[in-house]
Chain A
Amino acid sequence: MADVTATGGTITYREAVAEGIAREMRRDPTVVCLGEDIGAAEGVFKTTVGLFKEFGPRRVWDTPISEQAIVGAAMGAAMTGIRPVAEIMFSDFLACCWDYLANEIPKVRYMTGGQVTVPLVVRTANGGGLGFGAQHSQAVENWALAVPGLKVVAPSTPADVIGLMAASIRSDDPVVFFEHKGLFASKGPAAPEGHVVPLGAAAVVRPGADVTLVALASTVPVALRAAETVAAEGIDAEVVDLRCLVPLDMHTVLDSVGRTSRLVIVEENPYQGGWGATVASIVADEGFESLDAPVRRVAAACVPLPFADSLEQVVLPTADKVAAEVRRLAAY
């Protein structure tokens, strides 16, 4: 991310969402937005501030609470010349329109023999840590990973939000773009004009020699905190931010594990069926000889996310849990 640190100034993750969309809407008149409360109200998370004002109701459509119609209409528009950016307010609600994300959008190109492209983005606020309860808090990036035909993006920094948003909107393939609720208030360096982060390029956000931590979105800062903790104990952890689950940059992961020989995967979706299982299986397939210790996964527990703070912290991955696994592997 060296290219984004030189500009000075900072931006929040939530501001970066609106900025990333606005840049693409200025660049390409076929980019439009639709979703609940995204226009006049500027988004319940304030992630679409300024869009309605700048681009008007023709290109920023305040829809009713109709997740199926939102995503279905986005698909129809994407197949006929438009690049829609649809918002599903909370990622838990993806289940309400799952037919489109499991049966329609990812299959139509394949099953029509490549006749059509579906250049759309479904943006959604993902993940826990804010006390919203079980139906507004789950990390569900693994749902999307289970569907061949989708691309899956989950940025961890404001600059990546802008760069990955640009790549996602310009993608001729459908993208599910997970914005983490717990990161909306976080700040980072602003991104220069024209900043694009290609899909499928992981970033080594902290180099290290002893253990590889693979993380995504909210678990990147968790992994970085854990790395700082164990650094004080003499363990040098490398942190890889995957940025995307599809395309999955296993080259960067395998390269890192090749140097550290130890792997901890930090994921917020439930352990059961979580994306870390895919990463671990590929490392087992293709990087087995590199390993000097078992692969460990720190994932959410397999329960709906509980409401109370004290319970939520038991279920979610934390820096303490990650640090404990790193110590175990370092001593293995």
Chain B
Amino acid sequence: MPDAVALYRTIRLIRRFEERAIELVRSGDIVGGVHPYLGQEAIATGVCAALRPDDVITSTHRGHGHVLAKGADPARMMAELAGRVTGLNRGRGGSMHAADFSLGILGANAIVGAAGAIACGAAWAGMLAGSDRVAVTFFGDGAVNQGVLLEAMNLAALRRLPVLFVCENNGYATTMPTAGAVAGTITGRAAAFGIPASTVDGMDVSVVLDAAREAVERARAGAGPTMLECLTYRFDAHHTFEHRVRLRYRDDADVAAGRSRDPMQIQGARLDPDERTRIDVAVETVLDEAVRFALASDHPDPAGALDHLYASGLRARPGVA
């Protein structure tokens, strides 16, 4: 299991990856923008630290942190955001669809709540194969009002599937405050299906890790799903497009209050200052190389635009003989 240094390193990597990605959005090197994970880094870091390499995760539109925490190469991830052929998905997915199946990253999923059922299926497949691997599905507070997530929780509970439902309650579903969208409670939804659920401090990676370990052990032991509601705060915009259109739905005081607890500072304070500096420098070197690699990589060959649809190689009829 990772120590305090490794946890800090991952948080720092995600933090600086996101800040570098935003710079590349502003410079026009990343087209289409990103949904920054800033402020939520302790959740992906803590949960993925509780996993084995063969465990699988599903991610969300705000997914860079999950993908990096599960071990994806930051350079290939940055290249994917920049739409380059060296990207994790050969430039076909972009920010919202990054995947690395070799690492159990079943993909970021940009349909809110949809990945919950997919994680159930992956957990079921693991059971059928005689494995004790677990599946984690990350989702936001906005997803708890999607019917499919309730269907997935019911299925997971009925079949005692080894699934960990991780809700990242960052305070907002796009612009809608959680209180305006969620009747009842988030953990109450899990409780309705008999799924153990707890609300934890999503800003403290050690708290997240402890809770995730317990849930993962429970799933491996055959006791079924668990839900964790991790309280956090979205430091930045819903999407970088928001920087340009200047949506006003939270005032500066709210943002300042939300940012007052920073998962990077909380974990960083547990390190020796010199060691922390060494990690910061090392992370920056990794990201310098990631950005260099991404921007130096080729764009996909237009001749390949129809590739990779069907495994059989079937090509869609082009419309012109």
Interface of A toward B, CB cutoff 8 Å: 30, 32, 58-59, 61, 63-64, 66, 68-69, 71-82, 84, 99-100, 103-104, 108-117, 119, 148-149, 151, 171-173, 200, 246-248, 250, 282, 285-286
Task: Tell me, yes or no, whether B48 is within 8 Å of chain A by CB.
Answer: no
Q: Which residues on A sit within 8 Å (CB–CB) of B177? A: none
Q: Which residues on B sit within 8 Å (CB–CB) of A75? A: 117-118, 121
Task: Tell me, yes or no, whether B135 is within 8 Å of chain A by CB.
Answer: yes
- Beta-carbon contact of B117 and A113 below 8 Å: no
Q: Please list the 7 inter-chain residue pairs (A to B) with the smallest Cβ-Cβ separation, ordered nearest first.
A: A76-B121, A72-B117, A113-B90, A73-B121, A114-B308, A69-B151, A76-B118
- Beta-carbon contact of B120 and A112 below 8 Å: no
Task: Tell me, yes or no, whether B283 is within 8 Å of chain A by CB.
Answer: no
Q: Which residues on B sit within 8 Å (CB–CB) of A84? A: 121
Of B120, B314, B321, which contacts A76 at CB under 8 A?
B120
- Beta-carbon contact of B122 and A69 below 8 Å: no
**B91 CB → nearest A CB, Å:** 7
Q: Contacts A80-B126, A103-B114, A113-B90 given: A172-B109 contact, CB under 8 Å?
A: no
Q: Which residues on A sit within 8 Å (CB–CB) of B129? A: 81-82
- Beta-carbon contact of B125 and A113 below 8 Å: no
21 inter-chain pairs at a CB distance below 8 angstroms, sorted by A residue, are A63-B155, A69-B151, A69-B155, A71-B117, A72-B114, A72-B120, A72-B121, A72-B148, A75-B117, A76-B135, A77-B122, A77-B124, A80-B122, A81-B125, A104-B118, A112-B101, A113-B93, A114-B308, A115-B89, A151-B314, A173-B314
Q: Contacts A82-B128, A109-B311, A113-B89 given: A99-B114 contact, CB under 8 Å?
A: yes
- Beta-carbon contact of A99 and B111 below 8 Å: yes
Q: How far is the CA of A110 from the CA of B126 in the complex (A)?
A: 24
Task: Tell me, yes or no, whether B320 is within 8 Å of chain A by CB.
Answer: yes
Q: How far is the CA of A77 from the CA of B155 in the complex (A)?
A: 14
- Beta-carbon contact of A112 and B89 below 8 Å: yes
Interface of B toward A, CB cutoff 8 Å: 56, 58, 87-93, 97, 99-102, 106-107, 109, 111, 114, 116-126, 128-129, 135, 147-148, 151-152, 154-155, 158-159, 307-312, 314, 316-317, 319-321
Q: Interface residues of B: mostly helix, strand, loop or mixed?
A: mixed
- Beta-carbon contact of A116 and B101 below 8 Å: yes
- Beta-carbon contact of A112 and B121 below 8 Å: no
Q: Which residues on B sit within 8 Å (CB–CB) of A149? A: 309-310
- Beta-carbon contact of B119 and A76 below 8 Å: yes
Of B126, B128, B307, which contacts A114 at CB under 8 A?
B307
- Beta-carbon contact of B155 and A76 below 8 Å: no
Name which residue of chain A comes closest to B121, CB basis.
Answer: A76
**A56 CB → nearest B CB, Å:** 12
Q: Contacts A68-B148, A76-B122 given: A111-B89 contact, CB under 8 Å?
A: yes
Q: Contacts A64-B154, A80-B56 given: A69-B120 contact, CB under 8 Å?
A: yes
Q: Contacts A76-B120, A172-B312 given: A113-B92 contact, CB under 8 Å?
A: yes
Of A73, A81, A115, A248, which contacts B99 at CB under 8 A?
A115
Name which residue of chain B comes closest to A103, CB basis.
Answer: B111
Q: How far is the CA of A61 from the CA of B58 in the complex (A)?
A: 23
Q: Which residues on A sit within 8 Å (CB–CB) of B123? A: 76
- Beta-carbon contact of A69 and B56 below 8 Å: no
**A295 CB → nearest B CB, Å:** 17
Q: Which residues on B sit within 8 Å (CB–CB) of A200? A: 314
- Beta-carbon contact of B121 and A114 below 8 Å: no
- Beta-carbon contact of A109 and B308 below 8 Å: yes
Q: How far is the CA of A248 from the CA of B320 in the complex (A)?
A: 15
Q: How far is the CA of A250 from the CA of B106 in the complex (A)?
A: 36
**A243 CB → nearest B CB, Å:** 15
Q: How far is the CA of A75 from the CA of B159 in the complex (A)?
A: 17
Of A72, A73, A82, A171, which contacts B312 at CB under 8 A?
A171
Name which residue of chain B comes closest to A120, CB basis.
Answer: B121
Q: How far is the CA of A258 from the CA of B165 in the complex (A)?
A: 58
Q: Which residues on B sit within 8 Å (CB–CB) of A72? A: 114, 116-118, 120-121, 148, 151-152
- Beta-carbon contact of A79 and B118 below 8 Å: yes
Name which residue of chain A comes closest to B147, CB basis.
Answer: A68
Q: Which residues on B sit within 8 Å (CB–CB) of A100? A: 114, 117
**B244 CB → nearest A CB, Å:** 26
**A32 CB → nearest B CB, Å:** 7
Q: Apart from A72-B118, A76-B124, A173-B314, list 15 A-B contacts with CB within 8 A.
A: A32-B128, A59-B128, A61-B159, A66-B151, A68-B148, A68-B152, A69-B154, A72-B152, A111-B97, A112-B97, A112-B99, A114-B308, A119-B311, A200-B314, A286-B321
